[in-house]
Amino acid sequence: MSVTVKICGITTADALDAAVAAGADMIGLVFFPPSPRAITPDAAAALSARHTGGPLRVGLFVDADDATLAATLAAIPLDILQLHGEEDAARLAAIRARFGIRVMKAVGVATRAEVTEAITRFGAVADLLLFDAKPPPDATRPGGNAGAFDWSIMQGAAVPVPWLLAGGLSPGNVAEAIATAGAPGVDVSSGVERARGVKDAALITAFIAAARGEAGARGEAGARGEAGARGEAGARGETT
């Protein structure tokens, strides 16, 4: 089965076009103003309208209230709501019940025990799970600020729903991450950027190719990703 790939933090037509052309399964639209990748609902709607169908539209929210979710959904139809804050299982269930949209819960992990705890807490209420690096204590954003975590802690984890691996991924390391974690899907943001918040079409293409083991992908990643995206990811490892 092909690895599911999500390109998060899409804000421009060039980035969206590259993700669609390369065969991304999901694109992430960040509705969290403090993020350098934040986008307004109206701008996201205009961007999404460039392509009918294609990747699933995932809206990323951090502890958003119902009014914020409703206003966003009124502007742009979303396929999945990614909850990247302190939402508990009851909040996930309430959002699913009110809006009738699939919910992905993002959780920061550093140990196998934390992976198990996340599965216990959210496995029965989330439609998808995203395992990310835990942010440092002084982080201002919840998404993977600490870079990559030890992917081996995911090996053999009995995750009852589809799940994605995130945090510090790039064209140069995604194949290793998938093999080590046994991940059925991956999520990337800063690892396909040439500058903070600025996506690079060639890196998006290289990342998707590398994630799916396509010929030549690792060579391209070595030429572009090791010098660019991997450095960015190592410095920030951001997904929001």
Sequence-separated contacts (24+) of 123-126 with Cβ below 8 Å: 123/159, 123/160, 123/161, 124/89, 124/160, 125/89, 125/92, 125/93, 125/96, 126/92, 126/161
**One of 25, 132, 187, 200 is an active-site residue; which one?**
132
Rounded Cα distance between 205 and 21, Å, is 8
**One of 8, 25, 187, 200 is an active-site residue; which one?**
8
The token pair that represents 172 in the structure block: 């140069």
88 is annotated as an active-site residue: no
With b for 16 or more beta-carbon neighbours within 10 A and e for fewer, the 127-139 pattern comes to: ebbbbbbbbeeee
| Catalytic center residues | 8, 132
